[in-house]
């Protein structure tokens, strides 16, 4: 899932300081799972904004909406009937949702209430960690299901750098060495050293973000 967290309230208040009527739009997708932008967070943030404005002696009208997703046009369209009544959209979806709001409603500012970080999963309650950078050419079948692009701090593809100590990365003693994880996994699978010593072709980086914004087209799903 996409992992994000709410911007500091002070930053949000600064973004909306010139508006008296806003729509606060949450998302029931990824950001709801990581407790950053779901229906509950919409309610809490709206209350905090109203309280802060009242302390300033100013009023603000906030319409609270939580969409099924903000990355699908059909859900973004659900606010079209009343969006023109407001001065700004404050989105607490990921950056994709904010941009969809901006594209669909070009005459009204779309503001980000979250900072979007990475694609990851839950380690335990309240802790999420990065697992995928969306490079476009997955090599997990070669590395025991552990991503060297994400888990290795240097994104090395041909083995460890030699800078790790006791299985920890040299950048931080609390960060596991990605390649140590891969080697341990291959050993557990009985694929070490055979899989580790295989000569694999160079990775095709043209599918990564470095080639510009990416798009997937599924002709079987197009109307």
Give residue 188's domain range.
136-199
**Same-domain pairing of 176 and 91:** no
**Same-domain pairing of 25 and 105:** yes
User: Looking at the domain assignment, is residue 206 inside a domain?
Assistant: no
* Residue 212, pLDDT above cutoff 70: no
Residues in a beta bridge with 21: 61
* Residue 173, pLDDT above cutoff 70: yes
Q: Which residue has the tokens 């009208």?
A: 61
User: Looking at the domain assignment, is residue 124 inside a domain?
Assistant: no
Encode pLDDT of 113-134 as tens digits.
999 999 999 888 889 999 999 9
Closest by Cα among 40, 22, 143 to 131 = 143
φ, ψ of residue 4 in degrees (nearest 5)? -145, 170
User: Looking at the domain assignment, is residue 219 inside a domain?
Assistant: no
**Same-domain pairing of 143 and 89:** no
Encode pLDDT of 23-56 as tens digits.
999 999 999 999 999 999 999 999 999 999 999 9
CATH for 98: 3.40.50.2300
**Same-domain pairing of 8 and 94:** yes
Given this model, what pLDDT does residue 132 score? 94
**Same-domain pairing of 14 and 72:** yes
């Amino acid at each position: 899932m996409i992992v994000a967290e709410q911007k500091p309230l002070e930053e949000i208040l600064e973004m909306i300081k010139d508006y008296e009527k806003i729509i606060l739009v949450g998302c029931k997708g990824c950001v709801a799972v990581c407790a950053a932008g779901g229906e509950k967070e919409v309610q809490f943030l709206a209350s905090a904004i109203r309280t802060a404005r009242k302390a300033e002696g100013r009023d603000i009208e906030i319409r609270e909406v939580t969409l099924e997703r903000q990355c699908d046009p059909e859900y973004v369209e659900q606010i079209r009937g009343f969006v023109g009544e407001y001065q700004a959209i404050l989105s607490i979806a990921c950056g994709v949702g904010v941009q969809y709001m901006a594209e669909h409603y070009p005459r009204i500012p779309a503001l980000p209430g979250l900072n979007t970080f990475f694609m990851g999963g839950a380690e335990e309650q309240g802790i999420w960690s990065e697992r995928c950078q969306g490079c476009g050419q997955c090599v997990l079948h070669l590395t025991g299901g552990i991503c060297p692009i994400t888990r290795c701090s240097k994104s090395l593809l041909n083995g460890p750098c030699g800078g790790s100590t006791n299985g920890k990365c040299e950048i931080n003693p609390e960060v596991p060495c990605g390649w140590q994880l891969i080697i341990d996994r291959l050993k557990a699978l009985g694929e070490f050293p055979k899989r580790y010593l295989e000569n694999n072709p160079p990775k095709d980086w043209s599918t990564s973000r470095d080639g510009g914004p990416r798009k997937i087209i599924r002709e079987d799903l197009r109307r």
